[in-house]
Every structure is written in C-alpha cells, then in structure tokens.
Amino acid sequence: MTGVLYVVATPIGNLEDWSPRAVATLKAVSVIAAEDTRHSGRLMQHFAIGTRLIAVHDHNEGAKVESLLADLQEGRDIALISDAGTPLISDPGYRLVAAAQQAGLRVVPIPGACAAITALSAAGIPSDRFVFEGFLPARSAARSERLRELAGETRTLIFYEAPHRVQECLQDMATVLGNERRVALGRELTKTFETIRQLPLGEMLAWVSSDADQQRGEIVLILEGASAEAGEQDWREADRVLALLLAELPVKQAAGLAAGITGLKKNALYERALQLKA
C-alpha cells in the first residue's frame, strides 16, 4: 500500500474556521511538509497536533520531492500545508503534487480557506466567471504592462497585493483601466480588522490614499472585468487600425503596430490580421 498525500488548507486568520477533518488528518499523518515550520509550529501547538514538521518551501521543494515521493511509495502518509490558506494558491506545493500525480499516487485535498475565494464571496463583483492573477509585478512599469494586457478581460480579476504597494497598484489600475471600473478591497479577512469595501477605482484610490489603515495587513483586490460592450468596441477599433496598416505593411508588422496603438495582444491581432487578409 502506498501512502496518501493530503493537501490541507489552514486558516487565513480566524482559527475557528479550521475544520475538524483538517486537524484529524494532520494528527494522523507521518509527517507534515510545511512552508515555515516555526510559523506552523504555533498553529500545531494551538490544536495539540504533535506530528513532525519538515520545511518544504519555494527554495527547497525541488530537492525534497524525491525523498517525499519515496516516503509515499513506502506507505507513509504526508500532509502538505502552507503558512495560511490553500497550498499551491500563490504558495509552494505544485512540484510535489504534480510529481505525486505523475507517479500515480493518491492526492487528497482537505479544503478550507482561500483568501481569493473568501474575498470574492463578499465583494459583490460578478462571481460567475473569474480569473485568479495572484500577485502583479512589484515594479510599476511591469505592473502597468500586465494591466494593459488584461484590460480587455471580461471576467472578474482577482489579485493578491502587498499592503505597501496597494496604493500604487490602485493608481496604476485607475490609469490603465479608468476611474470607473469597480474594485473591491478585502483586507484582513476573517480577522479583527476585517474590511471589505467596493467602489469605483478612482474613489477606491482616494479612500486608500487618505486612510493609512487601509495600507496595512493582508489584501485581496477583486476587479470588475471589462464590459463585453467595451471589448467589442476595442475590436471594432482594432479592425479599423489593422485595415489601414495592412494596406501598407506586412501582417506581422501591422499586428505589432496595432498592438502598440490599441493595447490589445499582438498574437490576437496577428490572427485577426490574417483573417482580414484572407
């Protein structure tokens, strides 16, 4: 019998959110692979979980995978946890889970908190279709570039953001996407100073800039997607620009220039240019 790899979510703040199944699983396994053993040690102590912890984080996960797989092959159960929330969601664990799946081992999720889903559930921004973008680039130029790439995305967008960058991130969002797009800020979710507020980007920026408390703690941003109508308008404009450029230039060059002019993706414009040419 081979062992089972349990992927166990931990609380994102409020310890009462943790499920009895998660606690029982961590008590029963042979070893817990934790992102930070000191941090998780406190949680284990609180819940009287005596299982041995070993460190598996971004810097050593690749090197640890082989020995953890060997443990599983020899029949030992392992639990994977991260500092908070669901492992693999902007957290380590992907390489271990992928390797276990590829080796045909059983991987069992023990679900629980995830900041992205927790924020989405209370944001009042459409939740039927959404994209998780994790952390945006830390530097403004790269962040704005990524936001431009995402400008036409009609699904709701979910971002994690560091508190010391939230103001400049909202500033870049407002600059690239306009003041009117709605955004929800979910801060310190499930904790004492939990704040969830939804406003147009321009007003959110003004509020966060004027209140230093909103630039503290842990933050999720839930951004309304582009309206489908705006997306259509963008493409009508792109077709017009492409048609003009294609009259003078080869497809590749026309698509590159059109991307610079419209902010739409070069690959998508290249495909569109080929259709227009046909």
User: Which residues here bind ligand SAM, judged by CB under 6 A?
Assistant: 12-13, 82, 84-86, 89-91, 114-116, 160-161, 186-191, 218-220
Q: Counting runs of H as helices and runs of E as strands, what totals does the chain give?
A: 11, 10
Rank residues 13 and 152 by Cβ distance to ligand SAM and give the closer one.
13
> In the complex, what is the shortest distance from the CB of residue 127 to ligand SAM, in angstroms, rounded to a whole number?
16
> In the complex, what is the shortest distance from the CB of residue 165 to ligand SAM, in angstroms, rounded to a whole number?
10
Rank residues 143 and 187 by Cβ distance to ligand SAM and give the closer one.
187
Rg (alpha carbons) of the chain, rounded to whole number? 23
> In the complex, what is the shortest distance from the CB of residue 278 to ligand SAM, in angstroms, rounded to a whole number?
45
- Give the integer Cα–Cα distance in Å for 174 and 160: 17
Rank residues 23 and 244 by Cβ distance to ligand SAM and give the closer one.
23
Query: 3-class SS at 135?
Result: strand
- Give the integer Cα–Cα distance in Å for 82 and 98: 16
Rank residues 120 and 259 by Cβ distance to ligand SAM and give the closer one.
120
> In the complex, what is the shortest distance from the CB of residue 220 to ligand SAM, in angstroms, rounded to a whole number?
4
Within a 13 Å sphere around the CA of 90, how many CA atoms are in the beta-carbon half? Answer: 17
Rank residues 3 and 13 by Cβ distance to ligand SAM and give the closer one.
13
Query: Is the sign of the CA dihedral 49, 55, 57, 62 positive or negative?
Result: negative
**Lookup result for tokens 């406003």:** 199
> In the complex, what is the shortest distance from the CB of residue 4 to ligand SAM, in angstroms, rounded to a whole number?
21
